[in-house]
Chain A
Amino acid sequence: MPESQHIIELKKLTKYYKGSNEPAIDNINLDIDNGEIYGLLGPNGAGKTTTISILCGLFAPTSGNVFIDGMDYQHSAEKIKNIIGVVPQDIALYPSLTARENLTFFGHMYGLKGKYLKTRINECLELFGLEKNANRRIKTFSGGMKRRINLIAGILHKPKIIYLDEPTVGIDVQSRNVILDHLRNINKEGTTIIYTSHYMEEAENFCSKVAIIDKGNIITEGKPKELIKSKEEYTDLESIFLNITGRALRDE
């Protein structure tokens, strides 16, 4: 177990899917500091989802190591799962259940119970402006409301690390601002956030550090402002992204 201040460490991480000669991720080394809002950016098929899936323990890499808060999945999968929170891009909720029922179920899955869970659910619902809709079924919610509940389900247990996969996709500006503001607040309390997005402007403003991944490799990494300053032709994160990954269309 390495002694490190990094909350996430990827060492020579490589993943080949069965039947494929091309690696989905190729010998990636990455250190993410505690308290960072770290953006994993890249075009479709770049290797972001594979990286996140390995970070969440969904499958093992072909080679290399992953350390989460100094632990690895081989030895401490359950401990790691207790300190991470995942917010998938899909609305991973049960539409026929109310917001409260969904959150109670996911809270129980994280081992929360009783009065603490009830208080925590109320607190989160209030924080995201959904307390009046707690007993409504998810299928009656707007897209933005669903996104907020989707987010709450991943942060209910106050994880040390949150993985956010396109958390603001397909929602209005108001909901987006509410989500990002609250994520900033959560981050200020010490939670590390790993974030993927296709919205470059959002990533530029939201992330403290970003890595641009393409074809399974990290092409560049750094603080958004420093990256923009690094070359004269760079005006914003999007110009860096297009410069590095090219303008050709990508399909997953």
Chain B
Amino acid sequence: MTRVLLTALIHRALLLGGAWLALTSAALEALAPGAVAVAVAVWLSLRLLPPKHPFALWRLARHVPRFVAGSVVGGVDVARRAFSPDMRLNPGWLELPSDLPDGARVALGGELSLMPGTLSAGTEDGKLLVHLLDTDAGFDRAIPREAEEIAAIIGQARSARG
């Protein structure tokens, strides 16, 4: 068993096992069915989404405060615009070359969609399509940093440019 597969197995077993414990309040009589359910779920998850890259959980954990802060700023920003009389919108598109692998690109796109002023519409010809709510507000300045942190989580330092 490779190292990548082993870490994926451990992470997913912990994640799904944790979810089972939370859902059942760790009731004793739920432990045995839980063991079976978690084992099957981990197996299914490895079948449906085979791990291809190393995964640094601590880097993901370190990324959480930044994500939460971005969520707050992003939510407050759209709320302010939605309630203001003129909304001050200046929407536009940005094409972003990205050499992140597919799954990481989807993760980056999903994250950007929750961060202030950016929204991903998938990729075209290896370029991430990003919609900006206000092209004058400099929302795009945060993108390289997000891409870098996601690349670092899957063990690809400096793989994302642009």
| Chain B associates with chain A | no
Could you tell me which B residues sit within 8 Å of A by CB distance?
Answer: none
A residues near B (Cβ < 8 Å) are none
